[in-house]
Structure 1
Amino acid sequence: MKDVRLEPMTEEQYRPWRAEAETHFAQSVAATGRTVRDAERNAADTYARLLPDEFATPDHHFWYAYDGDRRVGFLWIKVTDDSAFVYNVSVEADLRRQGYGRAIMLAAERWCHENGLTRIGLHVFAHNTGARLLYEQLGFAETGRNMAKDLRPAS
């Protein structure tokens, strides 16, 4: 099994990460059936709302995950009371399906335990079947479900 260590991001690392993460979020939103323009607007609005003070937004934590000297992914969580919420976790594209997603999530759980947190939650897009399977294997349970119906005429 893979093992990773989490290294806090620096403010300098945060800036390019933020741009890339927002772009990826917009792509995930677009995959739900929204137009690219709407998805980009949604992503920009979401990130602005969640991170009004950018890197310095209170209770938000950003890490890069490493396997030895190799950066393998990242993790962003917010802590509220005794809970953590995973806003974003990702594995470098060329390293996916090698156990790093699981390793990053297990490192997140260890960090939560070490910091006295008793619950960890996240959102996963329905189309991301690989991530959904991983989270279920890690013991995450569905706590809600968003549904949508496209009302545009079929082309």
Structure 2
Amino acid sequence: MTISLEHMTQLDYDNFYENSIYEYANEHIKSGNWKKEGAIARARKAFENLLPNGLATDGEYLFSIFNSNENIGYCWLHFSGDNNKSFIYDIHIDEKFRGEGLGEAAMLRIENYCKERKVQSIGLHVFGHNQRAVSLYNKMGFQVTNYRMEKVLDEG
């Protein structure tokens, strides 16, 4: 297994952009944050704000993830203005490659990429219902830094 990060091509970016908007909207729907109606438009607006210049947006690094020569997913990495912190906005391993340890290997490659750039910490967000990702991040040493909680009230 040889994991590498390659800057996205425009075609890869176009696929990432549409796929990520759809996934982001669905994650918000699953978590109960958003209603299905209007979720795609809301997600698209968020992406337009975060990536106003697409691949050329300052501080945003968009990678295709490869295992040897095979494209297995993508990662969107943000560096703060002082570059000592990074944030993973999105990481995705294609469904057919899951369960093979490639997600963990990709995270380690991202970690090394950040270390090479003298980054001191990596942050990320994970939806509470995504227990597979939560388990991986816990295993890799990520710490919970805050909680957002909600209680649905009965109408009675």
Same fold by TM-score, threshold 0.5 exceeded? yes
1:71: how far off? 1.1
Match of 2:54 in 1: 54
1:147–1:38: structure 2 CA closer, same or farther, 3 Å change rule? farther
CA deviation vs aligned residue, 1:116-142 (integer Å, no higher than 9, x gap): 111100000000000000000000000
Per-residue deviation, residues 71-100 of structure 1 (Å, max 9, x unmatched): 111111100121110000011111112111
Q: Structure 1 length as normaliser, TM-score?
A: 0.91
Runs of 4 or more, structure 1, over 4 Å off, are: 151-154
Alpha-carbon deviation of 1:50? Answer: 1.1
* Structure 2 counterpart of 1:17: 16
Segments of 5+ residues of structure 1 without an aligned counterpart are none
| Cα distance change of structure 1 residues 38 and 146 upon mapping to structure 2, 3 Å threshold | farther
Q: Which residue of 2 aligns with 1:90?
A: 92
- Identical-residue share of aligned pairs (%): 29
Instruction: Find the aligned partners of 1:21 and 1:139 in 2 and give their Cα distance.
Output: 25
What is the Cα deviation at residue 59 of structure 1?
Answer: 0.6
1:99 aligns to what?
Answer: 101
TM-score by length of 2: 0.91
| Stretch of structure 1 that moved more, 138-147 or 65-74 | 65-74
How many residues in Structure 1 have an aligned counterpart in Structure 2? 153
> Displacement, 1:153?
5.3
Superposed, 1:1-155 pairs within 5 Å as 2-33=1-32, 34-80=34-80, 81=82, 82-150=84-152
Matched residue of 2:52: which SS? coil
Structure 2 gaps of 5+ residues are: none
Q: Which amino acid aligns with 2:114?
A: C
Specify whether residues 66 and 43 from structure 1 end up closer, same or farther in structure 2 by C-alpha distance, changes over 3 A only: same
